[in-house]
Amino acid sequence: EFSERNIRVSNGINADHPVGNGIKAMQACLDEKSGGKLKLTAFWGGALGGDLQATQALRSGVQEAVVTSSSPLVGIVPALGVFDLPFLFASADEAYKVLDGDFGTQMNKKLEEAGLINLAYWENGFRNLSNSVRPVTKWEDFEGMKVRVMQNNIFLDTFQNLGANATPMAFGEVFSALETKAIDAQENPYVTIDTSKFYEVQKFVTETNHAYTPFLFLFSKAIFDTYSAEEQAALRDCAAVGRDEERKVIQDLNKKSLEKIKAAGLEVNTLSAEEQARIREKSMIVYDKHKAEIGADVVDAILANLAEIRK
Amino acid sequence: MTLVVFIVSLLGAMAVGVPVAFSLMFCGVVLMWFMGMFNTQIIAQNMIAGADTFTLLAIPFFILAGELMNAGGLSKRIIDFAIACVGHIRGGLGIVAIMAAVIMASISGSAAADTAALAAILIPMMAKAGYNVPRSAGLIAAGGVIAPVIPPSMAFIVFGVAANVSITQLFMAGIVPGLMMGIALIVTWLIVVRKDKVEALPRAPMKERLRVTGRALWALGMPVIILGGIKAGVVTPTEAAVVAAAYALFVGMFIYRELSPKQLPHVILQAAKTTAVIMFLVCAALVSAWLITAANIPAEITGFIEPLIDRPTLLMFVIMLVVLVVGTALDLTPTILILTPVLMPIIKQAGIDPVYFGVLFIMNTCIGLLTPPVGVVLNVVSGVGRVPLGKVTIGVWPFLVAQVFVLFILVLFPDLVLVPARWLH
Amino acid sequence: MAMQKAIDTFYRILEFLLIFLLSSMAVMVFVNVVMRYGFNSGLNISDELSRYFFVWLTFIGAVVAFREHSHLGVETLVMLFGRKGRIVCMILSNIVIIAVSAIFFWGTWKQAPINASMTSPVTKLPMIWIYGIGFFTGAGIVLIALERLIRLLTGRVTDEEIAAFAGENMSLEQLSERA
Ligand code: NA
Ligand code: NA
């Protein structure tokens, strides 16, 4: 049983991001299941407000949906901070197994308690470091580097612990700040480094893979509860269809973006396995510091889950 | 249809005298009711979220810097310096006014405050030298509105936040057009005064001129700090604003010694009140902007102007005419806040550079400060210079024409904005 | 008389608060610039706290400005009316203001639970401390406008107020708030 529904989906990113492909795939799926009755209207570039503001609008039943990374939401669901912990996932496959498995479902329950239905985990991806000072090959290379980070305690601590001067800054000012050397470095997925043209004003890129942030496709619980069981099922199923498409496109695009960054003349390096292990080891202090805040059970659960997968 | 509801509710409320901020809230309420999504939380949430933006913090700090510049005697030193430079030329006091206006514009972002400082000192001097008083008052008003075009500028900050455009880029792009406005005013002034019988000021001896320049150096350092700081990337616009305020405080208190600690609370309170008025308006505008976006009104308008989308110059021409008309009745900040969410999607679709559009849009809204029936800067000159409003309105028209002329030159030749902007950034 | 004195004292306190908020914001941001360039470090909380002070400044200041008739309006049409016409407009205007401010208050009320259950990223302050300012501003403006409306309806409005409504006799301070 389907009614005519206009579902407004707020996005902080722009329409050319792979989330755009995911939403198209999701719409195609919804068209088929609902006979064109469930319509997604996407708003891009924060036109309906920032991610946090949009999420609050969902909780109060003002707006239907948002695609947001987990990081800004830790003030609402502290457990989400677990995804900000440095060097948590070693590969995308690990992340998919955890997110699409039991651990992901557990987190969805916590979101539901806050009035948010997570339809599926989409992908923002692994974050990497770009800078204009020197190639980063070891822990000591971070020393004194002015790195822009999101306003998020775990990111701030991670980079401060590495010896960098972590500076929170609005995303919109990052390009100018990098260009004028007000800051040396920033950290984002390759796709963002490409689409925001950061490669024009940076010299070095290091594949640090220091954090994997998922995108959550959140729906307002207040509104979701008024939908019929069929509508709810269609949304969940099609969000998963959209997820698969989005993950596929973002993986391809990551490769293309990396090629583009290299073609632009940037020096790209990876961390050696030993150095990766060393930095990860040294970063465990950040885990300890934030464990209580995130919830010891949550941190232990994900580490246990990962240990299981890695066996 | 939603477009009609938007326009009628907003204009209706403003027409009966509801302040613009409350009119915007009202328009938001009517829109959500019309769209069948009445929810009081939309109002509450968008209002507060609007002020929770670090970039906007530059507004109170630049206001504070401007207030401190006037209270601390920096404006006076700048005017003295301009007199020492060009006061002795025929028609010199007019050139002094524009030169000082441009320097002050590069320190403060407030047209009204700059104009008040200029009018208080220069109108009596110009009257004494035999210049036509309404015309002098008109020139000073026209010079005063350069303030928001040359950085720092509250107008650029508000636009940058509303349109999601880099404020640093807007600042850099405003410099050359602001200077062009100044040059156009000087040329117009020299044409209109050429037959007047006026006395030029005596040329001061070199020693005296060096002394005045030396005293003004502290004040002249301020634009260097603000623009240099932003340009060199030492500071963001918000940080530049707070550094400018600290510097003006230091110079006014310890170098020129015109600012006493006793005055300070009053200056800060005034800056706080001005901030609250502007910010409350910004917040209310974000409520209506949210609903305009949710209702897809820009798409409705794009439908009307579809034929113009492929002709950016003609489109800019039409938009600039509309803004000029709106600017006759509406103040600067409300014009920016009401039109930006409606116009930006169209600008983007037409492929017009958002920074270029921003500069012309702000320049146009500044011209609106000079057009009756609501021309705030005319009121300032009239009040401070004790010249009847009607006479200022007549005195300003040659300069108004000159600025509109510059505006449309820039519509025809976008490179005049874009090339120097690229070069400066 | 005692009532008037209490009200005046209340506004004095608000003004003091505004001065405190703006000065603290300036000091926090300034210290961060100095620390960043002088000592290559910074206080994470000052970024966030200065933003929250800004919210309070805006919404406390909005009430003070409303009391002083300082919010920008378009007086073009109102100016054309005589005393009677202006009074009618003032009544309509105050009704609209009361309605939207009450909606602001009501929305803040309805949204309070979700703001109380969210903390800020750095200072961990419950967000109701920031978003709850809607209670103060909504209520404050409703009260001031209600008092005005009652005086308008009972014919106790002053000529000064009517002139202020039509945008006459604006002070330089009020003009500078507009441009
Ligand atoms: Na300026
Ligand atoms: Na005007």
Of C40, C48, C118, the CB nearest to A76: C118
What distance in Å separates the CA atoms of residue C60 and residue C72, rounded to the nearest whole number?
Answer: 17
Min Cα–Cα distance to chain B from A82, Å:
26
Please give the pLDDT value at position C172.
73
Tokens at C45, concatenated: 């909380």
Please give the pLDDT value at position B423.
80
Shortest-distance ligand to the CA of residue B65:
1
Cβ–Cβ below 8 Å for B294 and A56 = no
pLDDT greater than 70 at residue B425: no
Q: Which residue of A has its CA nearest to B38?
A: A62
Calculate how far, in angstroms, residue B103's C-alpha sits from the geometric centre of ligand 1.
9
Averaged pLDDT score across all residues of chain B: 90
**Tally of domains in chain B:** 1
Instruction: List the subunits that have 3+ CB pairs under 8 angstroms with A.
Output: B, C
| Residue B305 in contact with partner chain C when CB distance is under 8 A | no
Model confidence pLDDT, tens digit, residues B243-260: 999 999 999 999 999 999
Mutate which of B29, B31, B38, B46 to disrupt the A interface (most A C-beta within 10 Å)? B46
Cβ–Cβ below 8 Å for C26 and B61 = yes
Cβ–Cβ below 8 Å for B60 and C54 = yes
Model confidence pLDDT, tens digit, residues B305-345: 778 888 999 999 999 999 999 888 788 888 998 899 889 88
Model confidence pLDDT, tens digit, residues B148-197: 999 999 999 999 988 888 888 899 999 999 999 999 999 999 999 987 77
Q: Measure Cα distances from A220 to A54, A109, B47 in Å.
A: 10, 14, 21
**Contacts A78 to C, Cβ<8 Å:** 119
Chain C residues 40-79 within an 8 A CB cutoff of chain A: 40-42, 44, 47-48
Region class of B91: left (phi > 0), else alpha (psi between -120 and 50), else beta: left
- Give the angle subtended at the CA of C144 by the CAs of C143 and C145, to the nearest 5°: 95
Of C44, C110, C127, the CB nearest to A156: C44
What distance in Å separates the CA atoms of residue B292 and residue B338, rounded to the nearest whole number?
Answer: 10
| Residue A21 in contact with partner chain C when CB distance is under 8 A | no
Cβ–Cβ below 8 Å for A74 and C121 = yes
| Residue B168 in contact with partner chain A when CB distance is under 8 A | yes
What distance in Å separates the CA atoms of residue B42 and residue B44, rounded to the nearest whole number?
Answer: 6
| Residue C123 in contact with partner chain A when CB distance is under 8 A | no
User: Do the domain assignments include residue B154?
Assistant: yes
Q: What is the dihedral of CA B102, B103, B106, B110, to 10 degrees?
A: -70
Please give the pLDDT value at position C43.
75
Tokens at A196, concatenated: 């925001």
Min Cα–Cα distance to chain B from A44, Å:
11
pLDDT band at C124 (very low <50, low <70, confident <90, very high): confident
Region class of C42: left (phi > 0), else alpha (psi between -120 and 50), else beta: beta
Chain B residues 5-34 within an 8 A CB cutoff of chain A: none
Beta strand A116-131 with A165-168 is unpaired
* Interface size between B and C, measured as CB pairs under 8 A: 237
10 Å CB burial of residue A220 (0-12, 13-18, 19+) is buried
**Contacts C122 to A, Cβ<8 Å:** 151, 153, 156
A12-16 contact pairs (CB < 8 A, 24+): A12/A45, A12/A46, A12/A50, A12/A51, A12/A54, A12/A68, A13/A44, A13/A45, A13/A67, A14/A44, A14/A45, A14/A195, A15/A42, A15/A44, A15/A45, A16/A195
Q: Which residue of B has its CA nearest to A174?
A: B166
Place of tokens 């990113």: A13
| Residue A165 in contact with partner chain C when CB distance is under 8 A | yes
User: Do the domain assignments include residue B44?
Assistant: no
- Half-sphere exposure (CA, 13 Å, Cβ side) for A74? 25
| Residue A60 in contact with partner chain C when CB distance is under 8 A | yes
**Contacts B240 to A, Cβ<8 Å:** none
Query: b or e along A225-252 (b: 16 or more beta carbons within 10 Å of the residue's beta carbon)?
Result: eebeeebeebbbbbbbbbbebbbebbee
Backbone angles phi, psi at C24, to 5 degrees: -65, -40
User: Do the domain assignments include residue B109?
Assistant: yes
What is the total residue count of chain B? 425
Mutate which of B39, B355, B422 to disrupt the A interface (most A C-beta within 10 Å)? B39
**Contacts C172 to B, Cβ<8 Å:** 112, 116, 380, 383-384
| Residue A270 in contact with partner chain C when CB distance is under 8 A | no
Please give the pLDDT value at position A230.
96
| Residue A56 in contact with partner chain C when CB distance is under 8 A | yes
Model confidence pLDDT, tens digit, residues B64-91: 988 898 899 998 999 999 999 998 888 8
Q: Are residues B366 and B327 in contact, defined by beta-carbon separation less than 8 angstroms? A: no
| Residue C38 in contact with partner chain A when CB distance is under 8 A | no
Cβ–Cβ below 8 Å for B52 and C130 = yes
pLDDT greater than 80 at residue C41: no
Min Cα–Cα distance to chain C from B274, Å:
5
**Contacts C40 to A, Cβ<8 Å:** 144, 146, 165
pLDDT band at B412 (very low <50, low <70, confident <90, very high): very high
Average of pLDDT values for B384-405? Answer: 93
Place of tokens 């997820």: A243
Of B39, B166, B294, the CB nearest to A176: B166
Which H/E stretch holds residue B58? helix B58-71
What distance in Å separates the CA atoms of residue B223 and residue A169, rounded to the nearest whole number?
Answer: 24
Backbone angles phi, psi at A250, to 5 degrees: -70, -35
| Residue A81 in contact with partner chain C when CB distance is under 8 A | no
Question: What count of other Cβ atoms lies within 10 Å of the Cβ of residue C149?
Answer: 18
Q: Are residues B145 and B116 in contact, defined by beta-carbon separation less than 8 angstroms? A: no
User: Do the domain assignments include residue B43?
Assistant: no
What distance in Å separates the CA atoms of residue A159 and residue A146, rounded to the nearest whole number?
Answer: 10
What distance in Å separates the CA atoms of residue B278 and residue B336, rounded to the nearest whole number?
Answer: 12
| Residue B235 in contact with partner chain A when CB distance is under 8 A | yes
**Contacts A61 to B, Cβ<8 Å:** 39, 41
Calculate how far, in angstroms, residue A272's C-alpha sits from the geometric centre of ligand 1.
51
Q: Among candidates B417, B414, B422, B418, which has minimal Cα distance to B314?
A: B414
pLDDT greater than 80 at residue C15: yes
Mutate which of A10, A59, A62 to disrupt the B interface (most B C-beta within 10 Å)? A62
What is the total residue count of chain A? 311
Please give the pLDDT value at position B175.
94
**Contacts C42 to A, Cβ<8 Å:** 165, 167
Average of pLDDT values for C89-110? Answer: 97
Question: What count of other Cβ atoms lies within 10 Å of the Cβ of residue B188?
Answer: 21
Beta strand A185-188 with A116-131 is antiparallel
Instruction: List the subunits that have 3+ CB pairs under 8 angstroms with C.
Output: A, B
Mutate which of C37, C117, C120, C128 to disrupt the A interface (most A C-beta within 10 Å)? C117
**Contacts A75 to C, Cβ<8 Å:** 118-121, 127
Strand intervals (E) in chain C: none
User: Do the domain assignments include residue B131?
Assistant: yes
H-assigned helices in B251-296: 264-294
What distance in Å separates the CA atoms of residue B172 and residue C42, rounded to the nearest whole number?
Answer: 27
| Residue C34 in contact with partner chain A when CB distance is under 8 A | no
What distance in Å separates the CA atoms of residue B108 and residue B152, rounded to the nearest whole number?
Answer: 6
Place of tokens 């490669």: A199
pLDDT greater than 90 at residue C141: yes
Tokens at A76, concatenated: 């609402």
pLDDT band at C40 (very low <50, low <70, confident <90, very high): low
Place of tokens 């002139």: C163
SS3 C121: coil
Q: Among candidates B25, B54, B23, which has minimal Cα distance to B42?
A: B25
* Domain encompassing residue B163: 55-277+298-424
What distance in Å separates the CA atoms of residue C74 and residue B361, rounded to the nearest whole number?
Answer: 20
What distance in Å separates the CA atoms of residue B143 and residue B122, rounded to the nearest whole number?
Answer: 12
Euclidean distance between the first and the last CA atom of chain A, given in angstroms as a whole number: 45
pLDDT tens per residue, chain A (311 residues)?
Answer: 899 999 999 998 888 889 999 999 999 999 999 999 999 999 987 888 888 889 999 999 999 999 999 988 998 999 999 999 999 998 999 999 999 999 999 999 999 999 999 999 999 989 999 999 999 999 899 998 999 998 788 998 999 999 998 887 777 678 877 887 878 999 999 988 988 889 989 999 999 999 999 999 999 999 999 999 999 999 999 999 999 999 999 999 999 999 999 999 999 999 888 998 899 899 999 999 999 999 999 999 999 999 999 88
Q: Are residues C146 and B80 in contact, defined by beta-carbon separation less than 8 angstroms? A: no
Q: Among candidates B58, B59, B50, B57, which has minimal Cα distance to B285?
A: B50
Q: Are residues C101 and C145 in contact, defined by beta-carbon separation less than 8 angstroms? A: yes
Q: Are residues B306 and B69 in contact, defined by beta-carbon separation less than 8 angstroms? A: no
pLDDT greater than 90 at residue C66: yes
DSSP per-residue letters across chain A: ----EEEEEEESS-TTSHHHHHHHHHHHHHHHHHTT-EEEEEE-TTTT--HHHHHHHHHTTS--EEEEESGGGGGT-GGGGGGGSTT--SSHHHHHHHHSSHHHHHHHHHHHHTTEEEEEEEEEEEEEEEESS----SGGGGTT-EEEE-S-HHHHHHHHHTT-EEEE--GGGHHHHHHTTSSSEEEE-HHHHHHTTGGGG--EEEEEEEEEEEEEEEEEHHHHTTS-HHHHHHHHHHHHHHHHHHHHHHHHHHHHHHHHHHHTT-EEEE--HHHHHHHHHHHHHHHHHHHHHH-HHHHHHHHHHHHHHH-
Cβ–Cβ below 8 Å for A59 and C114 = yes
Residues pairing with A268 in the sheet? A205
Q: Which residue of B has its CA nearest to A172?
A: B166
Q: Measure Cα distances from A245 to A267, B27, B103, B197, B313 in Å.
A: 31, 40, 56, 79, 40
Domain layout of chain C by residue ranges:
2-178
Min Cα–Cα distance to chain B from A61, Å:
9
Residues pairing with A204 in the sheet? A131, A267
Calculate how far, in angstroms, residue B251's C-alpha sits from the geometric centre of ligand 2.
35
Q: Are residues A220 and A63 in contact, defined by beta-carbon separation less than 8 angstroms? A: yes
Please indicate whether residue B218 or residue A14 has the higher confidence score (pLDDT).
B218
Please give the pLDDT value at position B233.
67
Q: What is the dihedral of CA C103, C106, C107, C111, to 10 degrees?
A: 180
Query: 3-state SS string over B101-166?
Result: HHHHHCCCCCHHHHHHHHHHHHHHHHHHCCCCHHHHHHHHHHHHCCCCCCCCCHHHHHHHHHHCCC
Q: Are residues A37 and A69 in contact, defined by beta-carbon separation less than 8 angstroms? A: no
Cβ–Cβ below 8 Å for C107 and B43 = yes
